[in-house]
Amino acid sequence: MDPARIYALGFSQGTHVAELLAAPALAAALSAPGAPRFAATAGLYGACGRDPVPPTLPAQVEYLQPDIDRPLLLLLAEGDNETPASFCLGRLPKLKESGRPVEWHVYPDNVTHCWDCSTLNGQVKTDWRGSRVVYHHNDQVTEDSRKRVFEFFSRHGGAKP
């Protein structure tokens, strides 16, 4: 096995794990002793933290750590009101400016959470904030996000599509 070609990819809450694995201390805490680190991590329609903090949580939840040292790609959507892109857009530029290996792309406002979930197309729910969430499957964004993830991994270790 080539450790330079091992990646983590998360969707929604799985993005939180991908974000945590991009930071050395948290990656060590979540890994077996001596295990190789992921070459890069990526996440689709995840959150970077929670704004505002739900009353049931004692403090702000931060998934993006200031010491990220592994390449991290986040794919977000303006139309995602379950994990709004704004939760990340206030944090990502600051990390990038400090030299951290983060990249992101934001799809337009007609793209929603779970854009690749064909089985949830049209489903409606109420999220933890009481917001109404509607899922809309989008074939074009699904394919574009697949290409972006494989291109990103290819640049950071050599994954092939």
Q: What string of H, E and C letters represents the secondary structure of 59-70? A: CCCECCCCCCCC
Q: Where are the alpha helices (DSSP H) in 3-158?
A: 13-21, 24-30, 86-89, 92-97, 139-155
Helix count (H) and strand count (E) of the chain? 5, 6
Domain, as residue range, for 12: 3-155
Structural domain contains residue 125: yes
Residue 57 lies in a domain: yes
Per-residue pLDDT of the chain (161 residues; tens, 9 = 90+): 787 788 999 999 999 999 999 999 888 888 888 888 899 999 999 988 865 555 666 566 789 999 999 999 999 999 999 988 988 998 999 999 999 999 999 999 999 999 999 999 999 999 877 889 999 999 999 999 999 999 999 999 865 55
The verdict on residue 109 lying in a domain is yes
The answer to the question of residue 110 being in a domain is yes
Three-class secondary structure of residue 144 per DSSP: helix
Q: For residue 134, what pLDDT is reported?
A: 94
105 and 115 in contact (C-beta within 8 Å)?
no
68: domain CATH number is: 3.40.50.1820
**Quick check: is 161 in a domain?**
no
Tell me the one-letter amino acid at 62.
E
Structural domain count of the chain: 1
- The rounded distance, in Å, linking the Cα atoms of 28 and 4 is 17
